[in-house]
Structure 1
């Protein structure tokens, strides 16, 4: 421990001893460490500064008290010489003077002049006005806070009622959710089944040689052309059937057959041209 620390510890011990001795107690036992000595040294400095300030204030108060006593004695002497001593005054005058003094003390004025009372009363009136204004502001704020509180209570009541309603709806909603989950699983299974069937149908169409270019409209158009071709070939077929009943004439029969074959070939060529044009237009 350095010399400065030892000197600070000695000062602290001396100060503690004087302080506890003044209070009639002994200094408690504790370990003097550099940290505790530093802290106690700081407290000692503050304590000495406050003690010195208190001594100065007390001395000033004693001086003022002595001055006031001297002034009171001088004023009492003057009043006695004038025959206005307190003992010679009527009781009502003494009472009035005491009341006047009490009012002066209450208004915190140093004399009992009328102007001092007026100034003090004006100051009190201003303070009263400020207090009334502050009270009005506080009342206004209180009303606003009360309104906010009422609204908050109403909202809290509504939220509690809504919460209770939601809690009552939890069980039905959970049941409905479970139903939806079951339906969703069924729909997912159906979707997988339909996708599998769709894939099977696509493979079947591929095996059968299905051409996506042949649409429903083209098939309808081909059916109409087929009906028209049947109408054209029906008379030829009827004629050929009628030839079966003719007498066997080889030359005439050969000529008739060749003519019908030519007509039938023309009809087939016409049907093929129609189909080719329909396919070309669809592309």
Structure 2
């Protein structure tokens, strides 16, 4: 952006939101104006302010952009021409200076043809060193400044090289650890691959056992269901515990003790004289006692097996 274009563009950018006109205008001009504004403000390190484009502002900015681009192109052409002329002038100056120096050296008897080979080689070495150090003359101060600058660059390069070497050592350490870790993982993977076949066989064995166990489980569940149904049919109640069964066994033993003398008495009647009337009465009496004892035992069992309310 030229100095003559800056106030106009800035005055337009500093305006607040301008309402857009109702009439349409060329979209290509808008894109050209936007691109031109973006390039100019980017060159200044700023962002393009926000504003609405109207036909009047677009026309004004487009004319300013056209003039600015034309001036910029003309300035670029002139600058390139000046650069070319400056390069040609410097080349001519150096040629003139070289010719003048050669003429002065010839007048004082220091022409290249009159110098010894050692002097010529020394001068060439000085010139080569000057070119290498990128200095324009061969004075001692210029050499010292160039050598000092070269020493500083060498120090900076050595510092960078030291830093790079340290980083390389760290990376080498990381690489060694990674290789060791990779070796350990490969060894572990090999062990796992070796252990895979027996593990798979063991898993298959477990699967077979699980199938058998599942079938057994179904069988036991069916048996449990059958036993539960049978216990329900006979009137089994969860209230009948081991203690109740022990108590019933004690009652049974007591009844057996009571009925045993009666049975022994009945058996002893077999040895009595054949008095049928007395024997029949005695037998009937003992049968009644035996039946009463059995009925008592049955009542006790039924009362124990009866489900509690």
- Whether TM exceeds 0.5 here: the answer is yes
Corresponding residue number in structure 1 for 2:157 = 131
Closer/same/farther in 2, CA of residues 221 and 119 from structure 1, 3 Å limit: farther
Q: Are 2:249 and 1:210 equivalent residues in the alignment?
A: no
Kindly report which structure 2 residues correspond to 1:1-283, keeping only aligned pairs within 5 A, or say none. 57-224=83-250
Q: State how far apart, in whole Å, the 1-side matches of 2:141 and 2:133 are.
A: 13
Q: State how far apart, in whole Å, the 1-side matches of 2:151 and 2:239 are.
A: 106
Closer/same/farther in 2, CA of residues 76 and 166 from structure 1, 3 Å limit: same
Q: State how far apart, in whole Å, the 1-side matches of 2:127 and 2:161 are.
A: 31
Closer/same/farther in 2, CA of residues 228 and 52 from structure 1, 3 Å limit: farther
Whose RCO is larger (CA < 8 A, sep 6+)? 2
More helix by share: 1
Closer/same/farther in 2, CA of residues 143 and 107 from structure 1, 3 Å limit: same
The TM-score with structure 2 as length reference comes to 0.55
Q: How many equivalent pairs are there?
A: 220
Secondary structure (helix, strand or coil) at the match of 1:84 reads: coil
The TM-score with structure 1 as length reference comes to 0.59
Deviations 1:1-42 (A, max 9, x none): xxxxxxxxxxxxxxxxxxxxxxxxxxxxxxxxxxxxxxxxxx
Q: State how far apart, in whole Å, the 1-side matches of 2:167 and 2:226 are.
A: 79
Closer/same/farther in 2, CA of residues 196 and 51 from structure 1, 3 Å limit: farther
Structure 1: where are the runs of 5+ without partners?
Answer: 1-49, 246-256
Q: State how far apart, in whole Å, the 1-side matches of 2:210 and 2:237 are.
A: 36
Q: State how far apart, in whole Å, the 2-side matches of 1:84 and 1:223 are.
A: 148
Kindly state the Cα deviation for residue 137 of structure 1 after the two structures are TM-superposed. Answer: 2.0
- Higher mean displacement: 142-151 or 184-193: 142-151
Q: State how far apart, in whole Å, the 2-side matches of 1:227 and 1:90 are.
A: 150
RMSD: 4.5
